[in-house]
Amino acid sequence: MSAISPSKPYRIGRSRTGLGLFATKPIKKGTKIIRYFGPLLDCRKQKDDAIENKYLFELDGRWTIDGSVRKNIARYINHSCRPNAESDVKPRLRKVFIRAIRNIEPGEEINYDYGTDYFKAYLKPIGCKCAACEKKRRTQRAEARAERLRLKAKAERKALREARKLAARVETELQQKLEQRQGLNGKSGRARAGRNLRNGKLADAELVSAIHLNGRFRNGHGRSQPAGGRPVATKPRTSTKLGARATTTAQAQQATA
């Protein structure tokens, strides 16, 4: 790793994506921070055009800077979708400078946008890990989490409403069945009462008939109770002849005496 002069306003340090370049002093907006340099590659030459690495910086259609050399401290500057610096390309001079586009505080990481082509080729497949994208992903995760909670709460409220509706429906059905059963029991009771009443009338009629018959044929008091209900006089059990015989016997006994 190349040594950095203490007078330089930056240092190499550990970043979330590996190594990065950090400010050691306040850097004002518009300040040229560092030059991006390395061997020039001519794409018209087959040997130069065959070189491939992540540190190639294209100046124009012909010339490209190979920034993979370790002396190129600028290669440690990481990409950011919301950078605090930018690449100032000078094709005629075949030079590239990294310039601050806003004030950079000490300890803040220096970064710039690598461009659309580099982003699509190297960063998009693995996901950009710059602070802006990480913040965006955190926001998206928080929103997704809040949406899941909202949907869960909505589902719980819906389930509660459905449970209440089901309970009300079951209660209504049970009430209807109870009322129907009570109605059937009432009808059965009335039918049984009617049958008992009819049976009672028949029993009473039979009892009355039996009493009438018993009164007509076996009345010990000499009176019978016919079916019409009016008493009828009956003859005494002793006849007139028996009475006369008894009188004659009594007179003979008196005479003998």
- For residue 108, the model assigns a pLDDT of 95
| Other residues' Cβ atoms within 10 Å of the Cβ of residue 49 | 12
Q: Residue 212 class from Cβ within 10 Å (0-12 exposed, 13-18 middle, 19+ buried)?
A: middle
- For residue 122, the model assigns a pLDDT of 86
- For residue 252, the model assigns a pLDDT of 52
- Residues with pLDDT less than 50, the chain: 219, 222-224, 226-228, 234, 238-242, 257
Q: Smallest Cα–Cα separation from 20: which of 85, 90, 73, 97?
A: 73
Domains of the chain: 10-127 (2.170.270.10)
Q: Smallest Cα–Cα separation from 80: which of 121, 111, 110, 56?
A: 111
Amino acid at 139: T
- For residue 45, the model assigns a pLDDT of 92
- For residue 121, the model assigns a pLDDT of 87
- For residue 55, the model assigns a pLDDT of 93
Distance CA 10, CA 100 (A): 12
